[in-house]
Amino acid sequence: MRSVNRNHLLLLAVLLVCMLPAGTAAAAAPAYATTYTITVQEDGSALWQIEYRTLLASDEDLLAFDNYTRDLSSVYLPQVRDLMQHSAVQASVAASRPMAVSNVTGNTIVQTSPTGRYGIVIYSFSWSGFAKPDGSLAIGDAFSGGMYLAKDNTLVIRYPSGWTVSQAEPAPDLQRDELVWYGLQSFSPGEPRVLLEKPAFPLVPLIAGIIVIAVFGGFIVYRATKRRTGQDRSEDRDEPEDAGVPELPLSEAEEAGLEERITTLLKAGGGEQYQSEIVKTLGLPKSTVSSALNNLHQKGIIQKIKKGRENLIRLVQGRT
């Protein structure tokens, strides 16, 4: 089996994404799988995760991986930290923009799957200034020396939610909510080059909101107008309140005259009318009309029939 130490040195060679020309690492193509996942933030910083995976085909392989895990914090993690920090310094000089690598961590796990047992090493770190924020996000100048993807290796670039890709060179092998390139592939200096755009303020939802507000406001005005003109019967009650019309006491003769006027209106309307229509026609306070209707109802001259929230006044058969 290959020693894990040698595998680690090959990993470091592949990690020379900013310091070496693309062809330098090509001769040391690793025989294991490595996935580089770069998650770009809106401020231009990026979270890197480098996952190294190798098959543990025997107990000897497992023992070697355990030894690697034991020495990870003291030996290998400092090497990766120094390498990436040096890469960021050189990329910063090339791009004329401050860059720095921090929070470098490492972890190992053994994973068993239907295809075998694998040793997995994961290095993670933050890279400030990785992309150039200028209304958009430009990715690429941090790869000052290009990048090399060996066989079975993968590069994944993820971007903030809501942003769109307006340019990607070379074209990715897969693009959904992230950009993916598969090895064997050699990138030129400054590649992969990606330009991300943030959509402008969403105009369509804004217009839709204005239309909804306008329609709702028109409906309110329409309902208010109907109430003022007495066309909306949905607010009628048996004893509705008067809106600013003073109630005048009626004599017995006046009450009798009012009742006669109501029966005349009902006959003219085919024997029935809504209470709100009677109030509107007479021009009297609602409570006055309601009192007269109650008298007519007690005398058996009319019927009060509920229609939703209003009253339909109907002459009793034989009175029409």
The pLDDT, as a whole number, for residue 219 is 54
Query: Residues 277, 282, 287, 293: is their CA dihedral positive or negative?
Result: negative
320 domain-assigned = no
The pLDDT, as a whole number, for residue 198 is 86
* Helix, strand, coil shares, percent, the chain, to 5: 40, 30, 30
Say whether both 246 and 279 belong to one domain.
yes
The pLDDT, as a whole number, for residue 211 is 63
94 domain-assigned = yes
Strands 178-182 and 136-139: unpaired
Q: Return d(Cα 297, Cα 293) in angstroms, integer.
A: 6
What average pLDDT values come out for the chain (320 residues) when binned by 10 residues? 38 39 37 88 94 92 93 93 92 92 95 90 96 90 88 92 92 92 91 88 56 57 54 44 55 84 86 90 89 90 86 80
Q: Is the pTM of this model over 0.85?
A: no
Q: Provide DSSP, 64-89.
A: HHHHHHHHIIIIIHHHHHHHHHHHHH
Last residue of a domain, one of 197, 220, 245: 197
Find out whether 57 and 1 touch, Cβ atoms under 8 Å.
yes
Query: Domain residues for 242?
Result: 236-315
Residue tagged 């003073």 (tokens): 246
In the chain, the amino acid numbered 280 is K
The pLDDT, as a whole number, for residue 171 is 94
User: How many whole angstroms from its chain centre is CA 302?
Assistant: 61
Find out whether 41 and 160 touch, Cβ atoms under 8 Å.
yes
Strands 33-40 and 154-158: parallel
Say whether both 242 and 225 belong to one domain.
no
Give the total number of structural domains in the chain: 3
Distances in whole angstroms, Cα of residue 103 to Cα of each of 16, 25, 46, 222, 242: 19, 26, 12, 63, 75
Distances in whole angstroms, Cα of residue 198 to Cα of each of 175, 195, 204, 206: 17, 10, 16, 17
- Long-range pairs, 254-261, Cβ under 8 A, ≥24: 255/292, 255/295, 258/282, 258/284, 258/288, 258/289, 258/292, 259/292, 259/295, 259/296, 259/301
Find out whether 11 and 31 touch, Cβ atoms under 8 Å.
no
The pLDDT, as a whole number, for residue 247 is 56
Say whether both 244 and 154 belong to one domain.
no
Say whether both 83 and 150 belong to one domain.
yes
Say whether both 160 and 211 belong to one domain.
no
Say whether both 170 and 307 belong to one domain.
no
Q: Return d(Cα 190, Cα 138) in angstroms, integer.
A: 11
Q: Quick one: which of 244, 238, 251, 252 has its CA closest to 289?
A: 238
Last residue of a domain, one of 214, 229, 244: 229
The pLDDT, as a whole number, for residue 10 is 41
CB atoms inside a 10 Å sphere around CB 131: 27
Say whether both 265 and 159 belong to one domain.
no
Say whether both 169 and 300 belong to one domain.
no
41 domain-assigned = yes
Burial degree of 123 (CB within 10 A; 0-12, 13-18, 19+) = buried
The pLDDT, as a whole number, for residue 12 is 46
Nearest-10 crossing angle of helices 252-268, 275-282: 120
Give the helix ranges, DSSP H, for 172-285. Answer: 203-229, 252-268, 275-282
Write the CB contacts of 100 (distance below 8 Å, at least 6 apart in sequence). Answer: 85, 88, 92, 127, 128, 129
Say whether both 243 and 102 belong to one domain.
no
